[in-house]
């Protein structure tokens, strides 16, 4: 019998922490998990899930606008944000109950309260000290707060999800996932939305053809984009909140969303005091490929490591940790090929290398692309287009990356990711029979290379 209270103590009951803890119990480990907030973490409570529910709600605006083209007569609709927020809260409460039940069914002990490391094997939570042979940090991320004068006047996505009154004017600061998603959502609800960011296009790091088309589509949907806007000051004005840029440009709004990135949630954990090394720039926990920190008994997974801030990645890392440490099956997560979706409007799906990254990596590439107006938009009279791009290594014919923008891109990229992860070639796509009529069939009908 171990001298410790548990075999594993996990700090953070989000997706990664819960997945790791449950998997560890399958291998026979005695596990406790600490949580100072709601069980379920960012994704379930204040991130992916509630955000997508709001995205679905905002898309009804498109359905109402398009309906007459399909023969439906629609009475002018109205929108109640308070009713939506209440429905969202009921759903997240339901999901939290499920997460608590999953932990209980797995015989994971839930310790509620803020946790802090005492030493390499001891955690203090709620005034109680408990010990374990291994400790896992899975505390996720939290909204960043850059040094901008008056930024406290802005809200983060956490508070935006709980609004009950629709802002007439919403200013979104930032150009990442959260920024483009909430800009589209609130434009769909009927707010006047301005999205301001330092770069020339949204979604830095994505393929440029996708970024350009997203900017065009968002503008056509009524989101006013302000590239090159570097905020330096927020202040109250007679008309709401005034945001001033470095170049003197001023934007006024009723609500300002600060979507200027997220940072690893490491404050107050006592990490450095027990020898866990943090990245000097990002504050992330430094880990080896198997998620071990600079202290042998302490591991970390998920957003707190700043490897790939995506829920499925955190889950995979957590399970790999448990299999390695408690299941006698050493394995690591390959972060080189990760499919992801952005629930912008229109949505984006992507996996693998962008065209510039493929070229920078030394590949000679052949690019296949399709740019078309989806069938659904024809009767509605909507001008929005879909675009699909497949990047192929010319020498080997292997698919290096795929990038989509258009309705259901997130759903499509999940299926395509299986093939690409298995090493699919362009010839494999070519010999796949199309499902007609669908947008996804364009991916297997690409025959002419760009420039040919």
- Using left for φ > 0, alpha for ψ between -120 and 50, and beta otherwise, residue 126 falls in left
Enumerate the domain spans of the chain.
Answer: 6-143+263-326, 151-260, 346-444
Share of residues in the chain with pLDDT > 70 (%): 100
Dihedral (Cα; 408, 410, 412, 414), 10-degree rounding: -160
Task: Write the burial class of residue 163 (CB in 10 Å: 0-12 exposed, 13-18 middle, 19+ buried).
Answer: middle
Are 157 and 178 contacting, i.e. CB atoms less than 8 angstroms apart? yes
Token pair of 235 as six digits: 């202040």
* pLDDT at position 451: 84
Q: What is the pLDDT of residues 196-234, one digit of tens each?
A: 999 999 999 999 999 999 999 999 999 999 999 999 999
* pLDDT at position 452: 74
Specify the fold of 346-444. Enolase-like; domain 1 (3.30.390)
Binding residues for NAD(+): 174-181, 261
Comparing C-alpha atoms, which of 424, 420, 411, 410 is closest to residue 352? 420
Binding residues for FAD: 52, 303
Domain 151-260 and domain 346-444, same fold? Reply is no
* pLDDT at position 2: 74
Assess whether pLDDT exceeds 80 at residue 82.
Answer: yes
* pLDDT at position 208: 95
Neighbours of 87 (CB within 10 A): 11
Is 3.90.580.10 the CATH classification of the domain at 151-260?
no
Q: What is the pLDDT of residues 97-123, one digit of tens each?
A: 999 999 999 999 999 999 999 999 999
* pLDDT at position 107: 98
User: Mean pLDDT across the chain, nearest whole number?
Assistant: 96
Class of domain 6-143+263-326: alpha beta
Q: What is the pLDDT of residues 301-321, one digit of tens each?
A: 999 999 999 999 999 999 999
Binding residues: 52, 174-181, 261, 303
- How far apart CA 401 and CA 43 sit, in angstroms, is 26
* Strand blocks (E) in 283-438: 298-300, 340-342, 348-352, 365-372, 386-393, 399-405
Assess whether pLDDT exceeds 70 at residue 14.
Answer: yes
Assess whether pLDDT exceeds 60 at residue 11.
Answer: yes
Q: What is the pLDDT of residues 139-176, one digit of tens each?
A: 999 999 999 999 999 999 999 999 999 999 999 999 99
* pLDDT at position 135: 98
* Residues that are catalytic: 436
């Amino acid at each position: 019998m171990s001298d410790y209270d548990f075999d594993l103590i996990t700090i953070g009951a989000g997706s990664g922490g819960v997945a790791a803890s449950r998997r560890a119990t399958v291998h026979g480990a005695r596990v406790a998990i600490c949580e100072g907030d709601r069980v379920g973490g960012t994704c379930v409570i204040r991130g992916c899930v509630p955000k997508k529910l709001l995205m679905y709600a905002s898309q009804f605006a498109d359905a109402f606008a398009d309906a007459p083209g399909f023969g439906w007569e629609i009475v002018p609709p109205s929108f109640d944000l308070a009713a939506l927020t209440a429905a969202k809260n009921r759903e997240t409460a339901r999901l939290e109950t499920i997460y608590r039940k999953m932990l209980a069914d797995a015989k994971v002990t839930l310790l509620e309260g803020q946790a802090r490391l005492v030493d390499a094997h001891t955690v203090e939570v709620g005034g109680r000290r408990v010990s374990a042979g291994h400790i896992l940090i899975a505390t996720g991320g939290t909204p960043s707060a850059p040094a901008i004068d008056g930024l406290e006047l802005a809200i983060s996505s956490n508070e935006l999800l709980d609004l009950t009154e629709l802002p007439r004017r919403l200013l979104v600061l930032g150009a990442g996932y959260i920024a483009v998603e909430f800009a589209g959502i609130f434009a769909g609800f009927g707010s006047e939305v301005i999205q301001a960011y330092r770069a020339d296009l949204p979604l830095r790091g994505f393929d440029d053809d996708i970024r350009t088309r997203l900017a065009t589509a968002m503008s056509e949907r009524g989101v006013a984009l302000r590239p090159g806007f570097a905020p330096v000051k927020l202040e109250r004005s007679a008309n709401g909140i005034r945001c001033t840029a470095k170049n003197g440009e001023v934007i006024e709004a009723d609500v300002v969303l600060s979507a200027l990135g997220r940072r690893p949630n490491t404050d107050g954990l006592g990490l450095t005091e027990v020898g866990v090394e943090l990245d000097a720039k990002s504050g992330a926990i430094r880990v080896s490929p198997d998620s071990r920190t600079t202290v042998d008994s302490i591991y970390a997974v998920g957003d707190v490591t700043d490897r790939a801030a995506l829920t499925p990645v955190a889950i995979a890392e957590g399970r790999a940790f448990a299999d390695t440490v408690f299941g006698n099956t050493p394995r690591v997560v390959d972060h080189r090929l990760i499919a992801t979706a952005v629930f912008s409007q229109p949505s984006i799906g992507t996996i693998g290398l962008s065209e510039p990254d493929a070229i920078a990596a030394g590949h000679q590439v052949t690019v296949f692309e399709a740019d078309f107006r989806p069938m659904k938009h024809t009767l509605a009279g909507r001008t929005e287009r879909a675009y699909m791009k497949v990047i192929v290594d010319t020498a080997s014919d292997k698919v290096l990356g795929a990038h989509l923008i258009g309705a259901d891109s997130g759903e499509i990229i999940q299926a395509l990711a299986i093939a690409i992860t298995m090493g699919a070639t362009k010839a494999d796509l070519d010999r796949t029979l199309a499902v007609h009529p669908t947008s996804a069939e364009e991916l297997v009908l690409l025959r002419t290379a760009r420039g040919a």
